[in-house]
Structure 1
Amino acid sequence: MHVPDGFINAPVSVATGAVAAAAVAVSLRGARRELEGASQGGGYGAERTAPLAGLVAAFIFAVQMLNFPVAAGTSGHLLGGALAAILVGPYTGVLCVSVVLLMQGVLFADGGLTALGVNITDMAIVTTVVAYALFRGLVKVLPRRRPSITVAAFVAALVSVPAAAAAFTGLYALGGTADVPIGKVFTAMVGVHVLIGIGEAVITALTVGAVVAVRPDLVYGARGLAKPLELRTAPVTVPAAPGAGDVTTTAAREAEIDEPEPGTGEAAPAEVAPVPARSARRVWLAGVAAALVCAGGISYYASASPDGLEKVAHDQGIDAKAEDHAAKDSPLADYSVQDIGDPRLSGGLAGVIGVGATLAVGTGVFVVLRRRKAVGSADQPTAQTTGGNG
């Protein structure tokens, strides 16, 4: 659903650019809170979720290259708003999809540069907000079990795609450059994107379900589903041979129970042993490998049919005033490397480059956010102390 240049007039493009900029600014602040909150309820710190957020952006980029057929002569692809919101949070999700759209527009001439605000508003903001609001509502009424997360993800993703189609129709009604009946555009857009939404829902549910099955602590939408395991320990003694004194049992030693406090003969209070954080290296490596396989290999077999917006635009005349992309001569335009004749190699290499670039930019954004949050938190006590002394 990448909107090209020329579909929407300048005033509406500027307005949506302002909306997108404001939403990104709000999301930057919200993403800091989401990354900071990653250490709650699962022992998983923000310093490790930042690379995972970058991975989500790279994975969405890769899967968007896999157009799947939905009707005669029409294909669809993942939008990714629902997937990102559920995995890493709604604010972080908006940033993930925005990074993907920026990389696609600048490097691959996919989605107009003057229409970047339209695309972010439609594909990043609308899909994420609608999907996450519906997801949270479903999670509250469904049984508190892991399968409920997958079911809620499926429904949220399904609805988010036609919602984005309806939003595009509204924007086109305000600033469309071609005189076409809006009613027909709405019917065509929503109709085909309901079918695309089914594919989006399947991809989202499978991905979320797979991560929840192995590491539910990494799924933002699954936080609070189950309380983290706590190991409570208490001193246990057993009688020993005369004169040998009490001996702490092996089980107690393995649980690292506190020794009696010196001079009191009384054991220290029982403590709660925190569950150590689990490394996400395997998940990260598996995600990167999956993204590279999708973009570098499977993408060659993607449907060549126009996607939903392209098909509707051609059938309804929306593309009457479409403009050439400013980056049409980019070395990676149309997801192929210039001067490489083999289409399989050219497309695969372009996909790998795109995954790497999106991963680097996305991870960089979230690492910077995490560090700024950490610096701000570290400076706060000093400021308070200084003020108190004054």
Structure 2
Amino acid sequence: MHMSDGLVSPPTALLFGVIAAIGLAIAATRARSDLDDRTAPMAGLVTAFVFAVQMINFPILPGASGHLLGGALVAILVGPWVGSMCIAIVLVVQAVLFADGGLTALGTNITNMALVGVFTGHLVALALRRFATRSRAGLLATAFVAALLNTVVAALAFVGEYAIGGAGGASLGTVFALMLGFHVLIGVGEGVITAATVGAVASVRPDLVHLLRTAPATTERSLS
């Protein structure tokens, strides 16, 4: 999912750099209300976890790699606003310290993974929350579907950016086929890992799972 420098034209990179900056500014403002003594340590843990799993990647196109995203995972555990900041921190550290993703492409990478990926996972999980709050199986299924779809939609955002200003030499059809095909498979793996991780946290501390903690009172009563 990482883009390298030169995969999109400079104007396209600049455009999505501005979009990423605006999105993160909003997320930083909204995240303040979600952080407290209980959620801040969880945010640190999920950031470290996502950083670790994203380091395992493989090439898909010249200048682009595939790996787990973690968008649905952070959205379910710490919420979309904090989750966006967690993924953005991971991407900045990877780009600056490990040259994983280009600096000029940081805006596109943040847009795809920290914004599109996280909020897709959040919206899917929110739509399925009535099932997630009913049983453990429902929670695991919700986490799996949210992670799968967040991966696919983020890959489509990548294709959209390439359609706007691709400069990598590959045809749009090739980019679409490879990105979508690989990320459907990645999404299945991400769904399994996300479900397992969310299930493990929920079995010990369900109060730390943002999706469950913020459920409406009527939904919470239906669990009893």
TM-score (normalizing by structure 2): 0.89
Residue 134 of structure 2 aligns to a residue in which SS? coil
Residues 143-185 of structure 1 deviation map (CA, whole Å, 9 limit, x = unaligned): 6223322110100101111111111111001111144431232
Query: Could you say if the C-alpha distance between residues 142 and 220 of structure 1 is closer, same or farther in structure 2, counting changes exceeding 3 Å?
Result: closer
Q: Which residue of 1 aligns with 2:212?
A: 222
Aligned equivalents of 2:53 and 2:159: distance in 1?
25
CA contact (8 A) 2:132 2:138 kept: yes
Unmatched 5+ residue regions in structure 1?
A: 36-45, 69-74, 228-390
Residue 167 of structure 2 aligns to a residue in which SS? coil
Residues 115-150 of structure 1 deviation map (CA, whole Å, 9 limit, x = unaligned): 000100011111111111011111235662233221
**Counterpart residue type for residue 106 of structure 2:** L
CA contact (8 A) 2:124 2:146 kept: yes
Q: Which residue of 2 aligns with 1:5?
A: 5
Aligned equivalents of 1:66 and 1:164: distance in 2?
18
Q: Which residue of 1 aligns with 2:125?
A: 135
**Counterpart residue type for residue 30 of structure 2:** G
1:87 alignment partner, one of 77, 80, 84: 77
CA contact (8 A) 1:101 1:120 kept: yes
**Counterpart residue type for residue 205 of structure 2:** R
**Counterpart residue type for residue 100 of structure 1:** V
> How much has 1:202 moved relative to structure 2?
0.8
| 1:185 partnered with 2:175 | yes
CA contact (8 A) 1:149 1:209 kept: yes
1:124 alignment partner, one of 114, 117, 122: 114
Counterpart mapping for 1:277-316 below 5 A: none
CA contact (8 A) 2:131 2:139 kept: no
Residue 2 of structure 2 aligns to a residue in which SS? coil
Aligned equivalents of 2:2 and 2:194: distance in 1?
19
Structure that is richer in helix per residue: 2
| 1:34 partnered with 2:34 | yes
Residues matched between the structures, number? 213
**Counterpart residue type for residue 148 of structure 2:** L
**Counterpart residue type for residue 135 of structure 1:** A
Aligned equivalents of 2:2 and 2:133: distance in 1?
37
> How much has 1:187 moved relative to structure 2?
1.8
Aligned equivalents of 1:80 and 1:142: distance in 2?
18
Counterpart mapping for 1:238-387 below 5 A: none
| 1:112 partnered with 2:102 | yes
Q: CA RMSD in A?
A: 2.1
Residue 47 of structure 1 aligns to a residue in which SS? coil
**Counterpart residue type for residue 87 of structure 1:** L
Query: Could you say if the C-alpha distance between residues 77 and 140 of structure 1 is closer, same or farther in structure 2, counting changes exceeding 3 Å?
Result: same
Q: Which residue of 2 aligns with 1:194?
A: 184
Aligned equivalents of 1:14 and 1:155: distance in 2?
32
CA contact (8 A) 2:13 2:107 kept: yes
**Counterpart residue type for residue 162 of structure 1:** V
Aligned equivalents of 1:18 and 1:111: distance in 2?
17
CA contact (8 A) 1:149 1:222 kept: no
Q: Which residue of 1 aligns with 2:61?
A: none
Aligned equivalents of 2:138 and 2:110: distance in 1?
29
CA contact (8 A) 2:84 2:115 kept: yes
Q: Which residue of 2 aligns with 1:103?
A: 93
> How much has 1:50 moved relative to structure 2?
1.2
Aligned equivalents of 2:132 and 2:198: distance in 1?
17
| 1:55 partnered with 2:55 | no
1:162 alignment partner, one of 152, 167, 190: 152
TM-score (normalizing by structure 1): 0.52
Aligned equivalents of 1:113 and 1:104: distance in 2?
10
> How much has 1:67 moved relative to structure 2?
4.5
**Counterpart residue type for residue 202 of structure 1:** V
